[in-house]
Amino acid sequence: MPIEIVCKIKFAEEDAKPKEKEAGDEQSLLGAARGAAAPRDLATFASTSTLHGLGRACGPGPHGLRRTLWALALFTSLTAFLYQAAGLARGYLSWPHLVAMDPAAPAPVAGFPAVTLCNINRFRHSALSDADIFHLANLTGLPPKDRDGHRAAGLRYPEPDMVDILNRTGHQLADMLKSCNFSGHHCSASNFSVVYTRYGKCYTFNADPQNSLPSRAGGMGSGLEIMLDIQQEEYLPIWRETNETSFEAGIRVQIHSQEEPPYIHQLGFGVSPGFQTFVSCQEQRLTYLPQPWGNCRAESGLREPELQGYSAYSVSACRLRCEKEAVLQRCHCRMVHMPDSLGGGSEGPCFCPTPCNLTRYGKEISMVRIPNRGSARYLARKYNRNETYIRENFLVLDVFFEALTSEAMEQRAAYGLSALLGDLGGQMGLFIGASILTLLEILDYIYEVSWDRLKRVWRRPKTPLRTSSGGISTLGLQELKEQSPCLSRGRAEGGGASNLLPNHHHPHGPAGGLFEDFAC
């Protein structure tokens, strides 16, 4: 059975002091080395942090009512800051925007817009042939008949050419246009371009974007002034109502930019015969924001056109393309006014976002009745018509700029990232007195503590075989036999094997000398 003997060794006072000094120096050096490597505790970090109130709430010192109140104040301020920061973040993520309107300075010259006009009646009754009436029965509502007035049930006509039908049967501008003036200069039907819409054959003035006509002054007499004869005697009789049946008399007009195709059946306005209509225009340049503030379509920057069949993207062009794809998917054909481009129909709804940069023209419309009694007689003699015909068919359209200025309407972000950072910094300084560097201090302390704990987990110290604490050592019996003179002396004095060790057999040396005291 192993026996452990505890021996307590004491030294003289003079010899103990140097050893204690050396041990103290060694422990101070080891403590300094360990302190440099060990992370700071929370109290040390709080006392040196720039976060206001943290040192008073978590720093070194006794715990008491004062520290509790500081901790409560710090927690309340931090909660208030987080609440305000959440509100600021929600406001920023809602992507608010505002609209700013800035009137531009007057310009010496302004580009005149394109003016598209269509007679509300699509087909002239006198120009329709039997084949035309047969092919257009679903549009006009007229029953197909032969020349003798009987139904042509057994007749067969060749496949129609809608472009040819519209060109032949539509109202001709040379017959409708009675007078034309632009900025004091005479104009004619040759200054108009043919364009096809839902109203059939229409005409656009100043349609070329490369050679746009300028307007050098504002007000009446500085724009386009035309007199038209709508030719009501050529309007189709109504046999039965269809989706395309019209009860109106007059023309449809749309004022638009040269890059935008006319979408006159929805965006146009009507001009009635027997009136002179004044249209005062003002150019408006609109700038919209893309995602996430808005839904406008930004320019791609590519050379090829963004829409097949059109030189530039516009909402009207996109809608016409959508109509064409829907008709093409269902009927495998297209209408004359739709773009002539390859490609099949698309699945699902068609979405046409507003372009981010758009030019449109605001309008103010007024009118007066014409002709008066004196001018009615004059116009009747001039055009070889009676006064009733003049009042029922003649109209005057006057389109001009109100002034050579334009309005710039721009969407702007109401709350940007710089404003968010500024508000967060103000709230942070108001409630907790912190900054970006304070946040970096906290992150650095968290990293320091986390890294120290990871190193402790990775480098676990091995358990020592022998341990010593202070002046007390644990020795085995065999070691004691070999090292201690106490056992051998006992044998010599006792004359045999003995398991009792003598105590205090050595005389004590003089005061201040070396002595050994074994307690066995």
- State the DSSP string of 424-462: HHHHHHHHT---HHHHHHHHHHHHHHHHHHHHHHHSPPP
pLDDT band at 35 (very low <50, low <70, confident <90, very high): very low
Compute CA 412 distance to the chain's CA centroid, rounded to the nearest angstrom: 12
Q: Which one, of 263, 368, 248, 273, lies nearest residue 315 by Cα?
A: 263
Percent of the chain residues topping a pLDDT of 90: 30
CA distance linking residue 85 with residue 253, whole number of Å: 54
pLDDT surpasses 60 at 487: no
Write out the residue limits of the CATH 2.60.470.10 domain(s) in the chain.
103-120+174-232+256-413
Average pLDDT score over residue span 472-478? 49
Asked if 387 contacts 376 with a C-beta cutoff of 8 angstroms, the reply is yes
Average pLDDT score over residue span 246-258? 92
Q: What is the DSSP letter of 243?
A: T
Write out the residue limits of the CATH 1.10.287.770 domain(s) in the chain.
40-96+415-454
User: Alpha-carbon Rg of the chain, whole angstroms?
Assistant: 51
Q: Is 73 exposed, middle or buried (0-12, 13-18, 19+ CB in 10 A)?
A: middle
Between 343 and 174, where is the model more confident? 174
pLDDT attached to residue 387:
92
Strand 275-287 and strand 394-413: pairing?
parallel
CA distance linking residue 460 with residue 262, whole number of Å: 82
Residue 7 gets the label, from left (phi > 0), alpha (psi -120 to 50) or beta, of beta
Architecture in CATH for domain 40-96+415-454: Orthogonal Bundle (1.10)
CA distance linking residue 451 with residue 471, whole number of Å: 37
Global pTM exceeds 0.95: no
Cross-strand pairs, 367: 277
Indicate the angle between helix axes 417-431 and 65-93, nearest 10 degrees: 170
Average pLDDT score over residue span 201-224? 90
pLDDT surpasses 80 at 320: yes
Express each pLDDT in 263-319 by its tens digit.
999 999 999 999 999 999 998 888 898 888 888 887 765 544 567 778 888 889 888
Q: Is 173 exposed, middle or buried (0-12, 13-18, 19+ CB in 10 A)?
A: buried
Residues near 436 by Cβ (< 8 Å), separated by ≥ 6? none
Asked if 195 contacts 189 with a C-beta cutoff of 8 angstroms, the reply is no
Helix (H, G, I), strand (E, B) or coil at 167: helix
pLDDT attached to residue 305:
52
Strand 177-182 and strand 224-229: pairing?
antiparallel
What DSSP assignment string belongs to 170-211?
SPPHHHHEEEEEETTEE--GGGEEEEEETTEEEEEES--STT
pLDDT attached to residue 55:
81
Asked if 204 contacts 262 with a C-beta cutoff of 8 angstroms, the reply is yes
Average pLDDT score over residue span 188-213? 93
What DSSP assignment string belongs to 44-70?
HHHHH--STTHHHHHSSS--SHHHHHH
Asked if 367 contacts 282 with a C-beta cutoff of 8 angstroms, the reply is no
> CB count, 10 Å around CB of 231?
19
Q: What is the DSSP letter of 168?
A: H
CATH for the stretch 103-120+174-232+256-413: 2.60.470.10
Between 15 and 236, where is the model more confident? 236
pLDDT surpasses 70 at 348: no
Instruction: For residue 253, give both structure tokens.
Output: 């007009």
**In what helix (H) or strand (E) does residue 488 lie, and over which residues does it extend?**
helix 485-494
pLDDT surpasses 70 at 412: yes
